[in-house]
Amino acid sequence: MNAKRILIVEDEQPIREMVMFALAGAGYEVQEAADARQAQINITERLPDLILLDWMLPGLSGIDYARRLKKDELTRELPVIMLTARAEEEDKVQGLESGADDYITKPFSPRELVARIRAVLRRGGPAAEDEMLYASGLSLDLASHRVSAGENLLEMGPTEYRLLEFFMSHPERVYSRSQLLDRVWGSNVYVEERTVDVHIRRLRKVLEPHGYDALVQTVRGAGYRFSTRV
């Protein structure tokens, strides 16, 4: 299991260092940014597993940045924990309304921080275990990992399954190869972009006998899209 990557966005260097030290000690891979602009560059390069976001930042505030992250398809599911010195209830509400997953008031102990991060990362796992995804006659059972085309059970490798699960839960949108690598393979894995093409081919081959390979569409110059519209 690869270490989870945490991005800390905080303009106060002593706090950043304390957090980095605590998280490295807990086995996390940590990256730092002093403001939202730097954080965005960081995120675009590689998506972290969680972001610790200070409320009061120079430039774009943490709260506005959290809102922006939750609006962007790429970062919508990225868990956000807000760090703040403000303890008022009103601020708390505002923080959670921005889409933050949790909230820590400064000063906090490294232990408390690690416990909160663990809790949020756990929550961020497979959300509803008993959920089913459907597309045309294709169905995917998130609990048993069974994929069926009508009455027929489809056999596929674990990567093809994860790829299909991602596609079926994010239909009608184009993903670049690097976005798919981040979202399906995970941000800690170094694989070449053409690996995506290989697994797309395998997935289509599984779907083809049932006529569903057309759902996995190549978008020239952009990437791939899962769509029930031809």
Choosing from 32, 35, 54, 182, the residue that interacts with Ca ion (CB under 5 A) is 54
Residue 91 near Ca ion by CB under 5 A: no
For the CA atoms of 96, 97, 99, 103, the dihedral, rounded to the nearest 10 degrees, stands at -10
Tell me if residue 105 falls in helix, strand or coil.
Answer: strand
Beta bridge partners of 36: none
**Residues facing residue 146 across a β-bridge:** 141
Q: How far is the CB of 12 from Ca ion (least distance, A)?
A: 5
Size of the site for Ca ion (CB under 5 A): 3
The region of 5-13, 72-80, 110-118, 160-168 touching Ca ion under the rule CB under 5 A is: 5-13
Q: How far is the C-alpha of 84 from the C-alpha of 102, rounded, in Å?
A: 11
Q: Which amino acid is at 2?
A: N
Among 20, 29, 46, 56, binds Ca ion (CB under 5 A): 56
Min. distance of Cβ 63 from Ca ion in angstroms? 12
The answer to whether residue 174 forms part of the interface with Ca ion (CB under 5 A) is: no
- Residue with smaller CB distance to Ca ion, 23 or 36: 36
CA 98 – CA 82 distance, rounded (Å): 10
Residues 6+ apart with CB under 8 A from 56: 11, 62, 84, 85
Cβ at position 104, least distance to Ca ion in Å: 13
Binding segment for Ca ion among 54-62, 113-121, 122-130, 166-174 (CB under 5 A)? 54-62
Q: For binding to Ca ion (CB under 5 A), which residues are involved?
A: 11, 54, 56
